[in-house]
């Protein structure tokens, strides 16, 4: 579903991604982990062309992401992206935040978009918060609204860049549980995370990055019990 071949990227003289190869099969959830500055955010942002690339090729669901003729708006509407900060519209209710893009971009009627919005929010445990404004919601609730907003566009792929890093500890679980249920539905996902327990229990593979390179890709049980590189052993020694 996601194919990255020979991708490199520099900011000025600083090489941030170095000859990256990666394949994420359909319906799989991959965790992208590694030390700060490894290039995780840059890599995940190249997958929907929020960052350009200098070399190589990326396709998502058959679409060449960085192709000259690729319609980026169309592409991005089919790739959900959830960030650390939720960036909801503060003047819109939860339901309106979720139904906005389907109405504006997909041309859905208000009734249709609102109904689907309510369904999605309910499935994420927010059925009683449809008419709440972001300011009335906790961080964990806001992040679940942000996930619903992405899902409302019927994405084929979901990308998450540290979705729980801005949350208080007691709210992390509710967001990870929502992502876990999404994994169970067969969504194809890439998640940058520092939640090692989540990576181990939910993800199909761990992609370990350091210094702009993919150091190893391994099934979680193997990665966490017998990492194949000194770099990964060193990293796990610090975070576990």
Positions touching Mg ion (CB under 5 A) are 41
Q: Quick one: how far is CA 240 from the chain centroid?
A: 23
With H, G, I as helix, E, B as strand and everything else as coil, classify residue 119. Answer: helix
| Shortest separation between residue 4's beta carbon and Mg ion, angstroms | 17
In the range 17-56, which residues lie near ligand ADP by CB under 6 A? 34, 36-42
Q: Which residue number is nearest to Mg ion in terms of Cβ?
A: 41
Which residue lies nearer to ligand ADP by CB, 40 or 144? 40
End-to-end CA gap in the chain: 31
- Nearer CB in complex with ligand ADP: 36/185: 36
Instruction: Please choose which of ligand ADP, Mg ion, none residue 39 contacts, taking the beta carbon within 5 to 8 angstroms, the exact cut-off set by kind.
Output: ligand ADP
Under 8 Å between Cβ of 231 and 38:
no
- Under rule CB under 6 A, which residues in 66-125 are in contact with ligand ADP? none
Q: b or e along 13-23 (b: 16 or more beta carbons within 10 Å of the residue's beta carbon)?
A: eebbbeebebe
Q: With 0-12 CB in 10 A as exposed, 13-18 as middle and 19+ as buried, what is 24? A: buried
In the bound state with Mg ion, the residue whose beta carbon lies nearer, of 41 and 188, is 41
The binding site for ligand ADP (CB under 6 A) comprises: 11, 16, 34, 36-42
């Amino acid at each position: 579903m996601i194919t990255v071949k020979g991708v490199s990227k520099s900011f000025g003289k600083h090489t941030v991604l170095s000859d990256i190869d990666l394949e994420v099969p359909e319906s799989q959830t991959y965790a992208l982990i590694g030390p700060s500055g490894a290039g995780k955010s840059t890599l995940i942002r190249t997958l929907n062309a929020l960052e350009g690339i200098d070399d190589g090729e990326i396709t998502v669901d058959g679409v060449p992401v960085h192709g000259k003729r690729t319609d980026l708006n169309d592409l991005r509407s089919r790739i959900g992206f959830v960030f650390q900060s939720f960036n909801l519209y503060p003047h819109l209710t939860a339901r309106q935040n979720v139904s906005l893009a389907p109405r504006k971009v997909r041309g859905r009627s208000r009734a249709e978009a609102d109904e689907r919005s309510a369904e999605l929010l309910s499935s994420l445990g927010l059925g009683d918060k449809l008419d709440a404004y972001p300011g009335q919601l906790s961080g964990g609730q806001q992040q679940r609204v942000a996930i619903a907003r992405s899902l409302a566009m019927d994405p084929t792929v979901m990308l998450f860049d540290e979705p729980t890093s801005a949350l208080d500890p007691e709210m992390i679980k509710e967001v990870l549980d929502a992502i876990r249920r999404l994994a169970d539905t067969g969504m194809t996902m890439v998640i940058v995370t520092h939640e090692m327990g989540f990576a181990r229990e939910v993800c199909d593979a761990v992609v370990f990055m350091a210094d702009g390179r993919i150091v190893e890709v391994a099934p979680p049980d193997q990665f966490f019990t017998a990492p194949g590189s000194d770099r990964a052993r060193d990293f796990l020694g610090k975070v576990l």
